[in-house]
Chain A
Amino acid sequence: MRLSTVFREAVSGLRRNVAMVVSIILVTFLSLTFVGTASLLQMQVAQMKNYWYDKAEVAVYLCSTISPANACPQGQASEDIKTAVTAKLNEDTLKPFINNFYFEDHAQAYKHFQEQFKGNTVAKYVTKEQLNETFWVKLKDPQKSQIVTETFTGFAGVEEVRDQRSYLDQIFNILNAASLAAIGVATLMLFSSALLISTTIRLSAFSRRREIGIMRLVGASNFYIQLPFVLEGIVAATVGSLLAGGAVLAIVQFFVQGVLAPKLPFTNLVGLPDALTVFPILVGVGVLLAAIASGSAIRRYLRV
């Protein structure tokens, strides 16, 4: 077996089927670009999750003038209650889990509310007393918020305990579903490109059936007959996946970092190192896909 001969056959095949080769390149390029962006989206969601979960705090809302009577039978929380909550937070049972905590009084809550709802009519009607005084608790491990929640739920003068992560979870569930859907579509596209590769290779084999017949006649081994076709598929898919990798790098560099990053200064967006991690995966998937698709196509065609 001489490899130079096999390569020569593969190159002549590529030259003869330019249109088909271009179609393989395009379809692997598109589907792998989709796969690449979908996986970067997954990375982005994971990164944001880490970032925001770390920032998430547990809010212990104290009873205000408008708190429902069933939660706050004794009305607005008194100074005694604030002292009791502070004491509880400083107790040995809770202290090891807490990084720090601070108290937000009516005035601060009002100020934050006005900032948050600037221009919204609700900001005009709300009074200081209606807003809860709150203990904001930052945990060492945000996963262990249950300890605080359990301690203060039903605590006299506490209206509600809320882990901010529960809000984040909703957002991340949506983002996660979106990126999973993207991966699903990408998988379908990969499947269709595998089918296209195998159809193309079979057509290529059909157009060279005379040569294949002669090769078999003179005793060429099946491996030797198949190799140029498999190489043809692999070369085309490699070009396509290199283009896809390049596209993913370009998207990250020019769109994510170039356009999005200046607009979202407080968000940690995926960068070139992430794209460079995805790059070899895309090329690997492309090559493997082409090898399997063209190999199985040609094997079925050559069955004696």
Chain B
Amino acid sequence: MISISNVTKQYKGAPRPALDDVSIEIDKGDFVFLVGTSGSGKSSLLRLMLREDVPSKGSVSVLGENLVAIASRRIPQFRRNIGMVFQDFRLLPNKTIFENIAFSLEVTGASRSKIADKVPAALNLVGLSEKAGRMPNELSGGEQQRVALARAFVDTPALLLADEPTGNLDPATSAEIMRLLEKINEGGTTIVMATHDRGLVDMARKRVVVLDQGRIVRDERGSGYVGQE
């Protein structure tokens, strides 16, 4: 599903590489936490997986695409198979909840009937069916993140990337988002989630990959935030 080998990412003007000789394999159906302090390279790794960036060295392959060599006109097509969720939700403020979710289908050229079919299903999954006509600013943070999740998941992508999805939310709401992510994962979608949330990681007992200063220092299945040493 995801194969990253010997990847180094050096940003111009930075004293040390954001990623330093990183290798990782993620299988279909995995649920992986990327943990580490700010600047440890979690977001850089996610950016490489979404082909928002290319590595300075090494190879990145996601969903069978070699992301170092992919032609730029094929990138949109590639991204349609990936859902992405961010800490700041990134909803379009001038569109309703329904339109926000429909938008990600519209831009890919989905038919009206497909939109009428899939958007309510996604809203139902995140429990926001009755708020379809609301605007994003009328919703709480947790609800907005659920909308973002619905948008990411509406076309049932094979891979869902989440960058600190609970960073702006209180623990109860975070747990709710986590439950949704687990539900999506149970449906077969691979999830890679960068997070600081120690409580979530400890509770979920999933695969944990710890990054420190751009290097992978621990990669353990069924682990917690700190490890079992």
Contacts and interface: CB of A to CB of B under 8 A. Distances in A.
B144 to A, nearest CB: 13
Contacts of A224: 107, 109
Contacts of B79: 216-219
A211 interface: yes
Interface in A220-240: 220-222, 224-225
Nearest to A304: B72
A1 B76 contact: no
B76 A221 contact: yes
A219 B76 contact: yes
A5 interface: yes
Interface residues of A, number: 19
B107 A215 contact: yes
A219 B109 CA distance: 10
B65 to A, nearest CB: 13
B28 interface: no
A213 interface: yes
Binding site secondary structure of chain A = helix
B104 A218 contact: yes
B92 A218 contact: no
- Size category of the B interface is 20 to 34
A219 B108 contact: yes
A2 interface: yes
A217 B73 contact: no
A263 interface: no
Nearest to B88: A210
A219 B72 contact: no
A211 B103 CA distance: 11
A219 B77 contact: yes
A213 B106 contact: no
Interface in A1-36: 1-2, 5, 12
B103 to A, nearest CB: 7
B90 interface: yes
Most chain A beta-carbon neighbours within 10 Å: one of B50, B103, B151: B103
Interface of A: 1-2, 5, 12, 210-211, 213-222, 224-225, 304
Interface of B: 50, 72-73, 75-82, 84, 90, 92, 94, 103-104, 106-109, 151
27 contacts: A1-B109, A2-B109, A12-B94, A211-B92, A213-B90, A214-B90, A215-B107, A216-B79, A218-B79, A218-B80, A218-B151, A219-B76, A219-B77, A219-B78, A219-B79, A219-B80, A219-B81, A219-B82, A219-B104, A219-B108, A220-B76, A220-B108, A221-B76, A221-B107, A222-B73, A222-B76, A225-B107
